[in-house]
Amino acid sequence: MRIDDVLVSYTMTKKSEVKKIIKQNRVLVDGIPINLINHQVDSNLNEVKLDGKLVQFPAHRYLMLNKVIRTLSANQDASLPVVFDALSSDINREGLYIIGRLDFLSEGLILITDNGKLGRKLLEPEAHVEKVYDVVTKEPLSETAVAKFASGLVIDGTVKLAPAKLVVTSEHAASVTISEGKNRQVRKMFLSIGVLVTKLVRRQIGPIKLDEQLASGDYRSLTKSEIKALSRYFN
């Protein structure tokens, strides 16, 4: 949450007083005075004090979900199953949204949170957040594909992509690391070299790796260390 929202919602501070209070160094985050009213804080990680008194405020929620194939990366749909169907009924879905959508036939890591700033920062092109995928292909892969990915492919006729890292692990399997997030990008990258992807699994978004113990269709809350690893994208 923004620090000004925390102060207004969970202390007796009036919105008109926030700038003055912060300027007077009366607000400490983890023992350090802050100077921006839009400074992001999370009670999972941060201790906020006003005039030396601890401010209690709700924590953001962070979930890791192992998406199954044939589900939409959406909150709801009139006819098709969606990733939110995997969440148990006791989870309040208000304010939750998906970071890193996957197409209908792809599977693997999806993050779900109510931290809007995190989602925007992770997905903005300037952040260059790396995403790692495992793929299985119909056609065999050659070492020339590695060089083509490294030089930056062209998809959709005219869209030039940033260089990507391709590691061929067998004749029909590879891992690919990209720092962009265009629609169906990985599948289109392989199609541009004449290769059809038959299976696509996302293994990593930024510092967060898919838990190998997490069964397909299951989810869990992020650990404190995982949230801390994401904190670089909070502000």
Q: What is the pLDDT of residues 168-219, one digit of tens each?
A: 999 999 999 999 988 899 999 999 999 999 999 999 999 999 999 999 999 9
Same domain for 114 and 18, yes or no, is no
Give the pLDDT confidence score for residue 198 in this predicted structure.
Answer: 98
Same domain for 25 and 81, yes or no, is no
Average pLDDT over residues 14-22: 95
Average pLDDT over residues 9-20: 95
103 counts as catalytic? yes
Q: What is the pLDDT of residues 39-90, one digit of tens each?
A: 999 999 999 999 999 999 999 999 999 999 999 998 889 999 999 999 999 9
CATH number reported for the structural domain that contains residue 187 in this entry: 3.30.70.1560
Q: Which residue range forms the structural domain that includes residue 234?
A: 60-128+212-235
Average pLDDT, the chain: 94
Give the pLDDT confidence score for residue 120 in this predicted structure.
Answer: 84
- DSSP-based three-state secondary structure for 119: helix
- Which residues are within 8 A (CB) of 69 and not within 5 positions of it... i.e. 6 or more apart? 104, 105, 106, 107
Same domain for 176 and 81, yes or no, is no
Which of 78, 93, 178 lies closest to 135 in space, CA to CA? Answer: 178
Catalytic annotation, pick one of 5, 85, 103, 211:
103
Average pLDDT over residues 9-26: 95
Give the pLDDT confidence score for residue 172 in this predicted structure.
Answer: 97
Give the pLDDT confidence score for residue 181 in this predicted structure.
Answer: 84
Which of 165, 99, 152 lies closest to 127 in space, CA to CA? Answer: 99
Same domain for 116 and 101, yes or no, is yes
DSSP string of 193-220, one letter each residue: TT--EEEEEEEEETTEE--TTS-TT-EE
Give the pLDDT confidence score for residue 122 in this predicted structure.
Answer: 86
- Which residues are within 8 A (CB) of 196 and not within 5 positions of it... i.e. 6 or more apart? 137, 138, 139, 190
Query: 108 has which bridge partners?
Result: 67, 202
What whole-number percentage of the chain has pLDDT above 90? 86
Same domain for 169 and 230, yes or no, is no
- Global pTM value: 0.91
Give the pLDDT confidence score for residue 204 in this predicted structure.
Answer: 97
Same domain for 147 and 190, yes or no, is yes
